[in-house]
Amino acid sequence: MPKGFSSVILAAGEGTRMKSSTPKVLHTLGGKAMLAHVLDTVLGLKLDKNALVLGHGSDIIKDYLGTRAAYRDFKLVLQPQRLGSGHAVKQAAKVFSSYRGNVLVLCADVPLIKSATLKELMDIHKKQRNAVTVLTTIVPDPTGYGRIIRNGNGEMTKIVEEKDALAWERRIREINSGIYCFNAQKLFRILQRLKPNNQKKEYYLTDAVELFGRQKARIGTMLCGDYREVSGINNRRQLAEANCQLNQEILTALMMSGVTILDPATVWIEPTVTIGRDTTIYPGTMIQGQTRIGEGCQIGPNTLIKEAIIANGVEIRASFIYEAEIGARAKIGPFAHVRPKTLIGEEARIGNFVEVKKSRIGRGSKVSHLTYIGDTTMGAGINIGAGVITCNYDGANKFETLIEDNVFVGSNVNLVAPLKIGTGAIIGAGSTITEDVPPNSLALARARQVNKENWALQKKKK
Contact residues toward ligand UD1 (CB under 6 A) are 10-13, 53, 55, 79, 82-85, 87-88, 107-110, 145-146, 159, 161, 175-178, 204-206, 232, 234
Q: For 258, phi and psi rounded to 5 degrees?
A: 105, 15
Binding at 47: pick from Ca ion, ligand UD1, none (beta carbon under 5-8 Å per type): none
Cα→Cα distances 222→119, 137, 317, 339, 383, Å? 11, 8, 48, 50, 66
Q: What character string, x for contact with Ca ion (CB under 5 A) and - otherwise, covers 57-96? A: ----------------------------------------
Cα separation of 181 and 334, whole Å?
Answer: 53
Cα separation of 377 and 238, whole Å?
Answer: 47
Cβ neighbors of 194 (< 8 A, separation 6 or more) are 84, 86, 87, 203, 204, 205, 207, 208, 211
| Interaction of residue 23 with Ca ion, rule CB under 5 A | no
Binding at 146: pick from Ca ion, ligand UD1, none (beta carbon under 5-8 Å per type): ligand UD1
Cα→Cα distances 60→16, 82, 440, Å? 16, 17, 59
Cα separation of 56 and 221, whole Å?
Answer: 30
The distance of closest approach from Cβ of residue 287 to ligand UD1 in the complex, given in angstroms and rounded to an integer, is 30
Between 34 and 281, whose beta carbon lies closer to ligand UD1? Answer: 34
The distance of closest approach from Cβ of residue 145 to Ca ion in the complex, given in angstroms and rounded to an integer, is 9
Between 109 and 347, whose beta carbon lies closer to Ca ion? Answer: 109
Give the residue nearest to ligand UD1 (CB).
146
Q: Which stretch binds Ca ion (CB under 5 A): 47-55, 105-113, 120-128, 406-414?
A: 105-113
Binding at 376: pick from ligand UD1, Ca ion, none (beta carbon under 5-8 Å per type): none
Between 226 and 394, whose beta carbon lies closer to ligand UD1? Answer: 226
Positive or negative, the Cα torsion across 187, 191, 195, 201?
A: positive
CB atoms inside a 10 Å sphere around CB 339: 17
Q: Which stretch binds Ca ion (CB under 5 A): 61-69, 224-232, 437-445, 453-461?
A: 224-232
Cβ neighbors of 127 (< 8 A, separation 6 or more) are none
Active site residue 337: no
Going by C-alpha positions, the residue among 152, 151, 153, 123 that lies closest to residue 135 is 123
Binding at 53: pick from ligand UD1, Ca ion, none (beta carbon under 5-8 Å per type): ligand UD1
The distance of closest approach from Cβ of residue 165 to ligand UD1 in the complex, given in angstroms and rounded to an integer, is 10
Binding at 41: pick from ligand UD1, Ca ion, none (beta carbon under 5-8 Å per type): none
Cα separation of 128 and 150, whole Å?
Answer: 18
The distance of closest approach from Cβ of residue 95 to Ca ion in the complex, given in angstroms and rounded to an integer, is 23
Q: Site for Ca ion (CB under 5 A): which residue of 2, 15, 31, 232? A: 232
Cα separation of 108 and 85, whole Å?
Answer: 12
CB atoms inside a 10 Å sphere around CB 452: 7
Binding at 83: pick from Ca ion, ligand UD1, none (beta carbon under 5-8 Å per type): ligand UD1
Going by C-alpha positions, the residue among 193, 211, 174 that lies closest to residue 90 is 193
Catalytic residues: 369
Chain residues that interact with Ca ion, rule: CB under 5 A: 109, 232, 234
